Structure 1
């Protein structure tokens, strides 16, 4: 491919990349920056590729150099590598490497290594797959890490030149520490359309840095990008007055697309213009609020009002991708594409010509870089002089001028959840215990009389250990890999194949399940025959088989399940009334309507009577006109002049009115400051409050007005902020309901005697990506064990983990999260908040002698003032042990609050908790932990 004149000048000109590079190289310095600023669509990758190739082929520059080219995703790394290959095939003449080539362990002269930056600097250690762990025991036996490649390359005396694509996104403090410092490059080429840091004239003149810029006007003149992007005009907005704004913007975009398509046809080009429609990211919340989402609204308008076939509408979301195949082709039949963040930096679709951007309600920020998606020109070498609109991009939006911000158009994905599982040896053990319990219970339920009549000198519960051993033996015989030795790995069984030679793993699992059921049934029958006789054993065959089937399927099929740790260990709960929310919806709605009527002087006979309440709200200064205008951007131009235009008043669309109403209901509750009007659990309170407000509108205050009209009147008053009449009335209504709610809570506490459920451990747990794998742990119930990367008290908890790991008396331990129904909780009275709360002790520990420990680690202030948790845990342990003595004849539960002093761990389970005495030493009640 031949470079265009402006590209050739940027690479080979007097002050181009090659000459700038050589001047800095001759200084002999390291970590010298060259900033290469070039507009989106100018061919940055093409120019940088030519720069590298010119250096490699320059006879005057024969230094021993290797190149590291870094992007911010795997796709872009491969895209850059593939483009380099395409540009210069078949005369590549050097190695184009990826992470798969780390096996070489070194970069040779002229090698180019293409890397994803995130694989090197990700916060999540599990994602830093290319980095060498500090712990020797974690390092792989074969292969090389990034650090190995850097060190081996430098040992050869070879210099490194680093190229950072989209440098405004990537160069952070951690990047310098983790990537740039190990490489110690001579030159760093920072490539960006919007570089964050531009060197000073002094730095450039004194060869401390370099700067090369491609002017936008040169790129436009070459036909690569459009001259500018223009928004809807003030005249456009006047012409759509009275039309729903959302629908009007879509209609304008559709009409513009059709006009552009006609112009391309007249020009003799087979190009189908694409309309991009960016939906707000907070759109998904609307489904729970009963409001039509923007995705639903846009799809409905295009298919029903505009008669656009569904197969001409593409969707690009994280969890939904439709009609995207060949969408970047200039003649693709797709006319519209809906997206949120997916079509970001690096996406190249030159036929994209029009963009509709809908604002977010909660955090509206217009991202100008998103406009880069419609900047490229699909036919650079075609003269467009006669068709000026083809040299422009078009924006239709309900954003305001003051919401425009030059920030990146891509955001980090939401934290992904990762799964950690119950350790295999514990999985098998728990499953066997549960199956034993089920077998015995089924036999007691179905055959109690026969068991009693044929009993020798022991009840069936006494032979539970034998049944458990029989079940476990059946599994070991059929599928020994299910019961691995702790800490060891067992080779997976050989995969079976069907008649066609294909792997048939499900058939294998089904076969093993049946074999375990058959063997377990036979083993248990033998035990029953020994203790109760052949008649009882034969009659129990079907019962045992059915009871062991779930056991076999759980183990072999790896079905998600949960297991009781000990029937006595039951998780406390707090009823819904105790969560600090509004409480009973019907009681609140009745009280709210009554309070609002009293405030505005509306009588009961106004119920559904449009005439009885006429004029009542006006007397309080409420504007009853059903119009609500909003400011909308107009007359703006981007990319060329960046004239941000002006705001024009326009009636808010119905969909935006509904969204704003829903959001306002949430915010009103959240903004309450008076104690009697403030309800802590907004998520639970929001629904009943919204419905109460709607009922009052519909039945008493605005009976003869539709919902959108009511919302407009309500919002218009709220927008007055402190002068709002509705705000004052609502605060009063919330305060008047407080005694009713408190009485309801008190009554509910007396009446609700629901028994707490036994605490169960699950076979798998999901954690967000801010949890990272902690170094190999042998005794953790969950494998791999995950711990938050950063949080207060982390070092203290790591010290406790190391303590538990070294105790020979510990069989396993389970680290709890601090909320959620999946974790063990006990109720306590919080002495700071003066109310009952739930407490999630940090650790559940199983000892080899059968004891169960419940521990909570503290340090510093939390140890000095545990706010009632210590006493609650002490009482819980006493209650549990009383039940254990009745059941087992011995105490089984230990635990308490734990602190680390002088590198030793102490535990306190005293009835009256005290941290330290007057001399600063641990007070009475603390005992040294020794297992």
Structure 2
């Protein structure tokens, strides 16, 4: 299977991890932490794998190291190892080891040893079979190696160990676990988890080694669902005297059928799986003469006519119908389990979870909810733009609402507990909206266009044409002052170690003993890589600068290699030496100013490439915004009186910036029954809400703008407005949004209006122009583009 293409947020996370890793490595001390916090379903293992592999190719860092990847079960350890194999096939320089390789007695450079914590930290001697007992212990082996031997052997080679703790919130907080960490004594500890321990997170913050992936881009890329819809113990009481166990199952079964019908209507071969988690202490019911939950569920499903082959079971001593269960088109409809499927098992078609409360304990298994968070077809995410029901997970439980914890819970990821339906009879809208991804990363795009541009710039400076054979081209470079001899003697430093490539020139002078030697082939290539990186970093001309050097240096390297090969032939060691020797002349270098010019020459082409990519992406990700049948809200929203809202109920947060201003506008338009049919308060993120792309000129980034209000007027016009107060109305960001909104409205035609609305002098004003200016206390009185909102109602 080919390596999955990395998504933009994944690339960003890998770059951030690499940066903090190199920073931590330079510090004195040991067991230096890096915390990598990333939501369930975001591809944590994929990102970590690419990060580790990338350390083999850094231009500014090269150290003798090995890795221990440790997690809390054999299955997860092997699953992680197999993912490395899957991602990189035969293109991985790292050795992938398991407990079967312990007898090699050490970790070689770049090796990764995958281990289960319990094999080394268990209290029971028979479980921690990898640990070295005392010599008088009958379990001591005369031959063979132990875990301690591997650590000792690795250290004897002066090879540093990097400890990677997967699912770092589990199993590492014990005294025995810390003893193992102390014995390994790694240079760096990488904690990978969606829910880091507070102490680890705070220490990483203090050391500036905390890397976090936000939930929003993971949702936007179609990897995980937007929210969990919760039906809790309090909600179930509305079903009167009906057996609550059956109410839970009825609700779950009904929702599964609804999802199945929607997938079928879309032409999708996705069979939604309903998970049923039984109490871990289910047998307690047997002691009291009651039926166990397993018996209750099995009887219920049989009564509903569900065939045995449609039901899977995953218990420690009873596994049934599990083969192929994760496949989207698997015929199994229901999975009964206790804790076995809670962590580390992926089944993206799982969309409904019925969770029964523990009999004696209030313990809530948060990790189980992670099993219904994944989307079934991330590669086809745009197919789901107009299917909000399929972008949610559904939890039915007899736990109380306050006991329920959602994975990666944050302000934008609380469970949905309140609903508002669209009013009957209103005429809906159909507006273009987008969920565009980032297109500009501040880098040199990987393309043939850059290679050609670079070659043209270099050829132009040296006067090279297609008629110049290798020898003639080389002579033209010599005439410009390039030393084309292959000798590269260098004052190198013996008996010194270099950690910071950014201070390489300084270190050469200050450290060790000066020795004049010919550079080795390996050192020449490493120096060539480093100089490509350094050349980009040193650019001070704005038109030659590229902010994302991590993504750009290898592109510059490829273009430079291609051009050098056209001049000097295929011997890379030779032309590397010519290049390195010239660049190291600093201010006397011939190549340096030419490369700066080549970078400048490409800038206009880059902007054109980015704009073309932006337009294609907007076209591909543009879909329809309509008022949905129903919207869900979390517990912290409160209902507010309304008259003309498109929904039966109007929910709003109790406190947020701009709330008073927005409610003032709501109260105003609520009085305009003759002119306004309905209004809708737009959200500020997500595919269910209206989004307009705009260019943030301050940050020089593409972004999405969610205007506050959609209004249908009684004369058939549609209005889209964003309310600002006197302070926010003056910002450059508001100006950028106003320009984008005006352009968007104009494209829709004469039946559409919109703009920025501001309250001044007791009156609402609106600016619908493409040239936006606002000065508080002045513009609404002197600028004709500012109109009384009342004029829009006429």
Report the TM-score when normalising by structure 1.
0.42
**Whose Rg is larger?**
1
Report the TM-score when normalising by structure 2.
0.50
